[in-house]
Chain A
Amino acid sequence: DGGITQSPKYLFRKEGQNVTLSCEQNLNHDAMYWYRQDPGQGLRLIYYSQIVNDFQKGDIAEGYSVSREKKESFPLTVTSAQKNPTAFYLCASSPTQVTDTQYFGPGTRLTVL
């Protein structure tokens, strides 16, 4: 089955620790995205990548980092510099970047203890 997988589904982290969220797609999509979702705030774009080895900051990139070494993988690291990391994180991909429908993974809920 083609799709987007995110792991783990639930993640707990102590303050001051970095943590990496996994996102993998087997749809052969060029573009991938990371969003953060908080109650009542919709989805906000953290980072996006239009092609392998290239990525751009979104609206709320501070405290996050990404890499895109392979077409199918776009991991997100939440660093200790992120002041309020507890949220639901969604990864998405699209065939290309322009106007294409974005397809979403099931999400990872990160809780900082």
Chain B
Amino acid sequence: AQSVTQLGSHVSVSEGALVLLRCNYSSSVPPYLFWYVQYPNQGLQLLLKYTSAATLVKGINGFEAEFKKSETSFHLTKPSAHMSDAAEYFCAVTHGSSNTGKLIFGQGTTLQVKP
């Protein structure tokens, strides 16, 4: 069965500091991995996705994530945090052989950016 674990429900960084949000997945087949961002009382917006092409994936707003099969990880990073990055971030997994397209979501990580 597939699962996703996001380490740390809350992460706090200073403006300009590195952002690192951790995601580990469990999947018996090659996964497709996604990071979404959610601002308060809004829907989810796709940041980036991994679909077995390049292991380093670049997304919107300066975010990127690296797929590491040996570590079953897909951590999200941004070199320099902005105040506007404060939001909740979700990692999600599905896999290519699925016929449902069902996304499995992590619990979410709330990012706080301090001035």
A106 to B107, CA, bound (A): 19
A107 to B44, CA, bound (A): 9
Residues of A within 8 A of B9 (CB): 40
B46–A41 contact, CB under 8 A? Answer: no
> In the complex, how many residue pairs between chain A and chain B have their CB atoms under 8 Å apart?
66
Mark each residue of chain A from 21 to 34: 1 if its CB lies under 8 Å from any CB of chain B, else 0.
Answer: 00000000001010
A18 within 8 A of B: no
Given the contacts A40-B9, A58-B102, A98 and B108 also touching, CB distance less than 8 Å: no
Interface magnitude class on chain B: 20 to 34
**Nearest A-chain residue to B43, judged by Cβ:** A104
Contact of B96 among A4, A94, A98, A107 (CB under 8 A): A98
Say how far A9's CB is from chain B's closest CB, in angstroms.
8
B90–A101 contact, CB under 8 A? Answer: no
A97 within 8 A of B: yes
Which A-B residue pairs are the 3 nearest by beta carbons? Answer: A97-B101, A104-B43, A42-B105
B63 within 8 A of A: no
A105 within 8 A of B: yes
